[in-house]
Structure 1
Amino acid sequence: MLKNYFKIAIAVLRRRKFFTFISLFGISFTLTILMVLTAFIDKVVNDDYPDKKRDRSLYISHIELRGKESMNSSGLSYYFLHHYVTKMRTPVKVAISSGYSSTNTYVNNRKIVINYKYTNADFWDVLDFDFIEGKPISRQQIDNADRVTVISEDMKKAYFGNDDSPAVGKYIEADNVKYRVCGVVKSLPITSYLLYSDIYLPVTTSKTKLDADKGYMGNYGAIILAKNTGDVSKMKKEYADIVAKLPIPGKEWDHINSHADSYLEGYVRTGNENSSGVAIAFGAITIFALFVMLLPTLNLINVNITRIMERSSEIGVRKAFGASSKTLVYQFLVENLILTLLGGIIGVVLSVIVMYFINDAEFIANLDLSLNFTVLAYALFTCIFFGLFSGVYPAWRMSKLNIVNALKA
């Protein structure tokens, strides 16, 4: 029976090529958008390079001073992180790094933009960078304020060229200072904004005195690492207790907000103290996905109704020869599922092609989109849902057709 339904479905699709094209285009185009978007989100959220200890890490990146009429929010000062966070009892390591800043340098009359970031020694213990050459900056080098640097693979190619000679031991100039390269790491995409940089420098080589400003606000952030996953909640509570006891600077402020977040919470935090931002982010993505799916679904319903009315005489004949409404509904739903699955296959192929061109064009360097099994499972589920949802109402309309009126059509 199912084989006959499949043959009938293929015959119907081939008979009305225009309607088939519209339906397949709507399904495949919608799935391509959703799958590329899902692949992007999956890459940004789930790619754990180089913070592979994310399950026992918390991220501190912002502090907010809030008053009745004003609010001020920024990164944290090195003084705050060094004076309060590094003295926490629960974390075993506290990785401190600045936000990345940019400077221009010139090599063989070529201008190169270099993004640089300052780090402490624990930064290299908490994070698991893949070293292509050399090794991380040592604690002794940081204590001695040695002018050394770890650079990205992309920066090595941009600054020293594409030859295979080692970059370790050579010098790179940034912000009018020469640093000796001690290591080369696999590059990060800019979407990893907490960790991304072209070169990493010892925090002690910063031109700004680290403890000169004893305020809370600055350009630094921290990753605090627990001994095990069971200590993460303790670590979160300990930091919350520290923030709650902070002296409030100035009469214009009445509250201080800062959080030790999981990676996802930190990425989507909105500043609204009543919400971490995760629910808002997922809600926005869900609404967008439903909106994108709604238009082709309505289009497919209308196309299916039109196809039913054109096949009214066929339906009338089948009813006259004893076919039940249940049989006809089942046949039409199978036809619709076949149509949506074909559209899904086309959508998967288009998604792979689009991702290939996005990766090849390097719109975001080092962010390589890929079609993984999770995305593929979502796509198949969407196809099945698409086919059933868009076929229920047309199938119900078909089952209610009167035999006599259908044969007269």
Structure 2
Amino acid sequence: MLKNYFKTAIAVLRRRKFFTFISLFGIAFTLTIVTVLAAFVDNTVSANYPEVHRDRSLYITLLKQENTKDQGQWNSPASFYYLDKYVSTLKTPEKVAISSFFNPTNAYRNGRKLAVNLKYTNAPFWEVMQFDFIEGKPFTEQQVANGERVAVISEDTKRDYFGNAASVAGQTIEVDNQAYRVSGVVKSVPVTMPIAHADMYVPYTVSKADYRQPTLMGNYTAVLLGRSEADLPAMQAEYAAVVARVKPEAKGFDVFKSNADPYLSSFLRNSPFGDTDDGGVGRAMMAGALILLLFMLLPALNLVNINISRIMERSSEIGVRKAFGASGHTLVGQFIVENLILTFLGCCIGILVSFVAIQVINGAGLINNIHLTINGTVLGFSLIACVVFGLLSGVYPAWRMSRLQVVQALKDR
């Protein structure tokens, strides 16, 4: 039966080539955009260089102090003092990486002003994150403790500051009016990964701000690395027990909150979706699905109109089949399958165009240091979108077809 449906669908597509072209173009264009966006989202939330251990990591990116009487709230990243006192002492994690959010500053070289994103870290940061060192090595725990002005720079910073120098390990780089000795050079990280991204990484002990100030709120984050994914519930429970003992420091605030979350949840916590047990992931996915549905709705409506025109051209065929006993359900099923075949052909074209578009985006460097790919996850998402698009554009025309009366259909012949 499916073989016959396929033959009929191909015959119908070949009958009105212009309509077929318009349909395939609309489907391919829509699914190209969906696929490229899916590739970008997958690259952003998946475990990629250098955060390859996201599956066994928890992130602490936000602290909350609340005034339950006046409904006041103060949200902020943590201070180094808080993370060092309450998080570094946790027993369950294998390692705890502490780092600041990157701060923009300036460097000058040969009369040129260079923008440099500076990040302060502890030594375990280099064990939790799996950076690719092009040359040199990370700074050590001893160098951090000694407050040495050493730095790990990105490959982009090496090129911009030192030009075509073959090796820069041991050389001096001056940033924010401070001179640092280059300890190593790492492959650059895209800005879409704020926990790992920076142009220059230096020990937290050289920060101009007093990292020892006993306050809760600041500009630092922590990554808890478990020995396996199975450690995550225990790590969350231990951290929750610690948070329960912390008192708000701000006057008038009576509740202190913080969570150790998987990567995506850790950032959604500070969004309108975030006040849920899963950190807002479920709500964000529902919102994303709704936006995607609305995005596909307009081209689907255009395809509905084309499909209705095709149905009217086939009214005599429908009337004959009904006269010989074909049920409405059979006709509906046939047309939906035919429309899914059309949508699948458009999807194949869209995926091919997406592959080319992604190569162009990667080659042009439109997003620095990001490399998009069409992997199994992206491909599966595109196929699901293809089916949804096919159903959106096929169900109503199929229903219209099933409602045609035999006499009227044959009269229109």
**TM-score computed with the length of structure 2 as normaliser:** 0.90
d(CA) in 2 for partners of 1:403 and 1:247?
77
Change (3 A) 1:102 1:10: same
Q: Note if 1:43 corresponds to 2:46.
A: no
CA contact 1:90–1:235 (8 Å) conserved in 2: yes
Correspondence for 1:394: 397
AA aligned opposite 2:362: N
Matched with 2:377 is 374
**Partners in 2 of 1:227 and 1:307 — Cα distance?**
60
Conserved in 2, the CA contact under 8 Å of 1:55 and 1:229? Answer: yes
Question: 1:88 — aligned with what?
Answer: 90
Note if contact 1:189-1:365 (Cα within 8 Å) is conserved in structure 2: yes
The within-5 A match list for 1:63-82 is: 63-67=63-67, 68-69=69-70, 70-82=72-84
Identity rate, percent: 54
- Alignment of 1:231 with 2:231, yes or no, is yes
Query: SS in structure 1 opposite 2:77?
Result: strand
C-alpha offsets along residues 42-79 of structure 1, whole Å, 9 cap, x if unaligned? Answer: 10011332222323322112212211332222111111
Contact 2:170 2:183 (C-alpha < 8 Å) held by counterparts: yes
Q: CA deviation at 1:112?
A: 0.9
Residue aligned with 2:113, SS: strand
Q: For structure 1, list consecutive stretches of 5 or more residues without a partner in the other structure.
A: none
Contact 1:270-1:277 within 8 A present in 2 as well:
no
Alignment match, 2:307 = 304
1:198-251 superposed Cα distances (whole Å, 9 cap, x missing partner): 01001111122321x211011111112234433322221221122211133243
1:150, 1:201 within 8 Å by CA — same for their partners in 2? yes
- Indicate the SS of the match to 1:52: coil
1:6 Cα deviation (Å)? 4.0
The change in CA–CA distance for 1:342 and 1:174 in structure 2 (over 3 A counts) is same
Q: CA deviation at 1:313?
A: 3.0
Q: Which residue of 2 aligns with 1:361?
A: 364
State the alpha-carbon separation in 2 of the partners of residues 206 and 270 from structure 1: 26
Give me the whole-angstrom Cα distance separating, in 1, the residues matched to 2:86 and 2:332: 68
Partner of 1:134: 136
The runs of 5 or more residues in structure 2 that have no matched partner are none
**151-160 or 375-384, which moves further after superposition?**
375-384
Measured in 1, the distance between the counterparts of 2:2 and 2:234 equals 58
- Quick check: 235-244 or 14-23, which moved more? 14-23
Alignment-mate amino acid for residue 136 of structure 2: G
Alignment of 1:6-405 (within 5 A): 6-67=6-67, 68-69=69-70, 70-163=72-165, 165-211=166-212, 213-270=213-270, 272-275=274-277, 276-317=279-320, 322=324, 324-325=326-327, 328-329=331-332, 331-405=334-408
| 1:256 CA drift (Å) | 1.0
Q: Secondary structure at the match of 1:76?
A: coil
CA contact (8 A) 2:269 2:275 kept: no
Post-superposition offset of 1:96:
1.1
- Distance apart, 1:292 and its partner CA: 1.7
Cα 1:107/1:239, change in 2 over 3 Å:
same
TM-score, with length taken from structure 1: 0.91
Q: Using a 3 Å threshold, how does the CA distance of structure 1 residues 274 and 341 change in structure 2: closer, same or farther?
A: closer
Q: 1:237 to 1:334 in 2, by over 3 A?
A: closer
- Alignment CA distance shift 1:16-1:71 (3 Å): same
- Number of matched pairs: 406
User: What root-mean-square deviation, in Å, do the aligned CA atoms of Structure 1 and Structure 2 show?
Assistant: 2.3
